[in-house]
Amino acid sequence: MHELILEWQEAHQKRMATIRDGQPSTNPGSVRIGRDPVKCDLVISDLTVSGLHVEIFFDNATHTFVLRNLRDTNPPTVDGRQVIHGEIPLSQGSTIYLGQVIVTVLAVSLAPPNNPIQQTIILPPKPINLPIHNIASYGLECPHCHRISPYERMGFGCQWCGTSLASAASVLITG
């Protein structure tokens, strides 16, 4: 069986999840990750993570786990590369930014093609030297006027039209 182990911090707690090739999911064949528990198999509640952000699946053709971006406005970054469209292979030690949440691929366990013996490689966490503010900033897109407000305004509503931002989409602000 092919497995991928993810690790991240959420609400000051270390969290881990294992993704298995062929595991039951909301979208058969892949595991969807985001903030919306209805659409996602793996929920990360941080406001900088989109409702439906990415999906990870095992690609039999390349014998690797692959991350696919599902958002044009809040693309993930994998190992320093922004994934605006398409897919990118993951490996042990890969660093994924979903909004401001840093997700690390802690381990990948693959059964070689036509060989039932598995190999698991676990790497120690690698230090991350990139400050989050150098990667991007995030805001909330007003569902009414579509202007972007900072997260600090969430409890006060859109600064332009006053609409509640409680259900607003998280978006990447590029400068």
Q: Which residue has the tokens 């064949």?
A: 29
Check residue 26 and give its pLDDT: 82
Q: What strand order describes the sheet that includes 54-59?
A: 42-43, 31-34, 54-59, 64-69, 87-90
Range with lowest mean pLDDT among 51-65, 94-108, 111-125, 149-163: 111-125
**117 vs 110, more confident:** 110
Distance, CA of 28 to chain centre: 18
In the structure, what pLDDT confidence band is assigned to residue 17 with cuts at 50, 70 and 90?
very high
Q: Which residue has the tokens 């805001």?
A: 139
Contact 57, 65 (CB under 8 A): yes
Rounded to 5 degrees, φ, ψ at 134 are -80, -15
Q: Is the pLDDT of residue 132 over 60?
A: no
Query: 0.85 cut: is pTM over it?
Result: no
Question: What are the E-state strand segments in the chain?
Answer: 3-10, 13-20, 31-34, 42-43, 54-59, 64-69, 77-78, 81-82, 87-90, 95-98, 101-110, 119-122, 137-141, 148-149, 169-173
* Average pLDDT of the segment spanning 46-69: 94
As a whole number of angstroms, the distance between CA 62 and CA 28 comes to 19
